[in-house]
Structure 1
Amino acid sequence: MDAETGAGLGSQLDESALAAYFGDAYPQVAAYAGRLESEGELRGLIGPREVPRIWDRHILNSAAVVPFLPERGLIADIGSGAGLPGIVIAALRPESTVYLVEPMERRCAWLTEIAEDLGLTNVEVKRGRAEEFHGAFECDAVTSRAVASLDKLVRLSMPLVRPGGEMIVLKGRNVAQEVDPARKAIRKLKGSEPEIIDAPTLPGVESTTVVRIVRQTGSR
């Protein structure tokens, strides 16, 4: 492993535990964490206070959604930004195709560069807003992290989900308060009742909240 591997480890995190958790993807994920640590602030991808917390607050937080995603299929990460969770997903789901949907040119340049440097051949960067791709493709799963309220996320994401596919998003602990305001959009777009899931990763790391909504296949 290169000098960047294991960069930004929090004091409570053991590199061997991280390597075991990420398995074969660990070298790619660790190199990505190192690049975020060395370039993220400079390139406007993360704030300065986030650098020491890259693993627990960002990498592991992103990885928490992966168990709920298909091992094979088409996955889209909307508002991908620095590639959280999309780059982490691509490393852990090598047999899936991962679309990174991002409107900002400089962030798209970063995503393209990091995917190439890490050898993530299953990544495609799609420059534009999520709504610009409505009707262009449908995915087995659409995810996002820190993008918008659940109501807005449903409107952005569900049209990109194939019937029978799922919208699986990373949200804050208070997401239950966002469910009622989102119900009209969920019904309109044939979504199921939202399932709020506690998604742990490693011991000592705060668990993540995941919301899953299935796009129904028939009339409701």
Structure 2
Amino acid sequence: MRTRRLSKDNTYFALKQKIIDSELKPDQVVHEENLAALLGVSRTPLREAIQRLENEEFLVRQPNGRLRVASVTVEEVKEIFLIRSMLEGYIAKSAAKNATDQDIQNLTAMIENIKQSFRSGKSQDFVSYGFEFHDYLSEMSDLKTFVKILNHLRDHALRYCRFVSLHGDWNTQADEEHNFILQMIADRNEDGAEKAMQDHILSSLSAALERIQGIQANRED
């Protein structure tokens, strides 16, 4: 029973990661037999994984019964990032209130990883380290309900950030914003941390919208 559960969960996480990383592209039609071969699994755990991902709206069942990967849309990215700005702003405020010296050391190390990945042009690593930084602030905040709600959006937000990174680099502003958030938290400036986080996520939204709209315009030409 435990082996079956692990197989089911591993299939779900592996398939979800391929959607997040755009290995399975937005709007791509997918077939069970091809997915089973891609993941090296049987149809039973695959079908359970597909059902979970349909419920989470990473996969969409079309009227003809075929499956496709969920679209990347301007409307969805606006909603996700606006909600994130409100939730994560307050999370950063609470993190500033709760921060210990050890937390500041840990966050400083994360910021260094973000900076190194930015300098070396490793945009996907930049996204990964950025989300590690955000996740750590969530742990620091001790806001269980906020974090629970945020977790429902997290992987959709990660998908958009990875999509943006695949189609161009982030600008220097994104790198500087993480550093400013850390400065506010290190100063235990609660209101400053909240504002810095909100500004950062709204700035990321602007970058995502610009990239998505540019891609859509190129497809129409």
Q: TM-score range by the shorter chain?
A: under 0.3
Q: Which has the higher strand share?
A: 1
| TM-score of the two chains, using structure 1 as the length reference | 0.24
Higher share in helix: 2
User: Quick check: which has more Rg, 1 or 2?
Assistant: 2
